[in-house]
Structure 1
Amino acid sequence: MTKENPHSLPTSDTVLHPIRLPFGRSSQNIEDIRSVDDDDGFVFHIDRSLLLDYTKLVVGDLIGKGGNSNVYNGWYEDRPVAIKKVLLPETTDEATLECKANFQREVNLLSKIEHKNVIKFVAASDGPMILITELMEGGSLQKHLKNIYPITLSLEQCLSYALDISQAMEYLHANGIIHRDLKPGNILLTKDQNHVKLADFGLARDDICDEMTCEAGTYRYMAPELMSKNPLPKGAKKSYDHKADVYSFALTLWSLIKNQIPFKDRKDLMAAYATMNNIRPSLDEFPEEIVPLLQSCWVEDPKLRPEFKEITGTLIRILQNIYTTKINALASIKRDVEANGESEAESSKENKNLLKRDVEANGESDNIIAQYPRMDEKKLKNKSKFKRFISYFRSCIAF
């Protein structure tokens, strides 16, 4: 890669080094981390500084389980981290080799990636297979959406998350990396829940070729070109490219905005069958400004799908239009409030004159004349303040 590429991966002196490190101090769940049934190692192409030193590792609580891994929180070199231990399958030797290959590929890839919207790699070991990354305290996007269901996020928040994802994918594709499993469960939230980062590179590929393993990923978010209507042998190859991630992005964005699982009324395989038959999730009552983007991203022909650079630009324009509309609305409210203030002042002056004439006609003293108008003005002033506050408060909530 040339230096002119703004998305190029950082370069460093890498070593071919088989990992065999001694275990250090124990902690609450260290035995769970250390237990391993095999002793077959392999090599990582990573810098020596990224090799796991168990003497610096403190394991905390189990915070999540995946199909082939357990995730713990903990500390490494006095920083909070997530500790992912890969579990070997209890099936065939072929499955075991595939699991190890995926782990090795994930470590080699993630250790080279530096992007604000990709989870940060910290360290790794193969004895057992452990991956240490930064701790994302906001949890997964999938879990967050489930926790707030049936409430949906604001359109602005959805598009902000989508922009984070698109920028991360733009970076990956610029470096020849396909994720192949883009979905809400592999997107993690920051502690303040303002941003998201992409995670889980177990199925990612950096050696894009004409043919790759078919049906890699999750059926509900998988592009149709990865699937086949006819049964294929395990590990069979199909021709597809990075545009498969664009399709998965579209289904992820749909799920994010609707807070629903795509094809929720169908089983996994039936959802895949629907995808292959060019059926897509409903766009009824969907935000109009997002529909063209979704339709272009999940079109059946991968060549017609946009690149993530284009998607990023589209999302920025949509967000700018939304914010411009809201800013103009706020400015209009401000003008109305100011106009109402002037109108109420004129009304107050007129009421004061009327009250003065009524009091004088009834023969009241000047003190009473002076007192009543002031009381009336004070009430009008307080009422005006309250109305302005309510208007401003409502506009802030809407914004």
Structure 2
Amino acid sequence: MSSGRRCCSKPRSVAPPAPPASPRADCNEVTMAPPPIPDAAVRARRLVRWLYGLAALTFGLIVFGGFVRLTRSGLSIVEWNPIIGILPPIGTEAWETEFAKYRQTPEFQLVNHAMPIDGYRRIFYIEWAHRLIARLAGLYLAVPLAWFVWRGAIPRRRIGVFVAIALLFLLQAFLGWFMVSSGLLDEPAVSHYRLTIHLLAALLLLALTTWTAMSLDDRNGPAIHRPAATRHSTLGLVALAVIVVQIAYGGLVAGLKAGHVSYTWPLMGGSLVPAGLFDTGGSWWAALTASPAAVHWIHRWFAVVAAAVVAWLVVEVRGARTTRAAREAANVSGVLVGVQVALGIGVLLTHVPLVLALLHQAVGLGLFVAVLVVNHQLRRGGN
């Protein structure tokens, strides 16, 4: 019997068509994109680049300081105004005011008494440029350093090193004025002791920034300590110390103008050891740093000692199982020490010309940095 009711089956649900595959998704399945560099790694690399830049600025400031000294421009600005001294005098009246201050100094009264205002402008701008570059270097130090501290880019164990770098930079500013002020009293020249202290503090700043940058530079790879590197590290330290002593005596020579004592080589005053070399009316040990003739003689012949020690270091490092960077830095040291000795002799024989004297200073700094790199690599080990 028919019920008269139509049996209807429940309609089946049809799944919606799948969306077409994205070409980008297909590509991702085949080739995976390289993982992004973590922000910490980026900050670390920026930190290293900043440190190398700071070291380069310090190097340049030391060389420019030599230019200031050789042109007798360092005493042209008789006041230390960190803020208002940023701008040079503007207008005739302002220049006359500055020139009047300079005319009260021993340098003008005893050395440059015939200098016109145009000549004063020239030496003023040289010293002003030196101070301006130092101010800009201070900004280059302070602003990025604050940013790195804020972003936590500086490793905690090295915070003390960065504090030391900042304090050394501030100390350099003080030592610069401390040196200049010594030439505004009685003598028409700065104290050779203060000049040498200023130079050595700059050398320490250069060493600290360079060493820290190399230590944080991940391109150097992990440290691998080897016995050969450890044995040669003592010789590296000796070479570095000898170079520092030689640079210090270079500062004394510059401050005493002892380079003009003798223009001959190898003889000095007709002999290898001039008579009365240490006779200054005082003790002989005081003459080691106070007598222009004695300082000149020591700087002249201690250079031979420095060259011999660096040559010894080069030979030892080239034969040691150490890093390629250590061997390359040793090779550079060997070349630079030869060039430096030749420049030193050339400066004497040509009566201390400006260009050669500046090259002598710059190459000496380069030699210091090269031996510093050797020391750093010897402490890393070898491959």
Q: TM-score range by the shorter chain?
A: under 0.3
Structure with a larger share of its residues in helix: 2
Query: Could you tell me the TM-score, scaled by structure 1's length?
Result: 0.24
Q: Which is higher, the Rg of structure 1 or of structure 2?
A: 2
Query: Could you tell me the TM-score, scaled by structure 2's length?
Result: 0.25
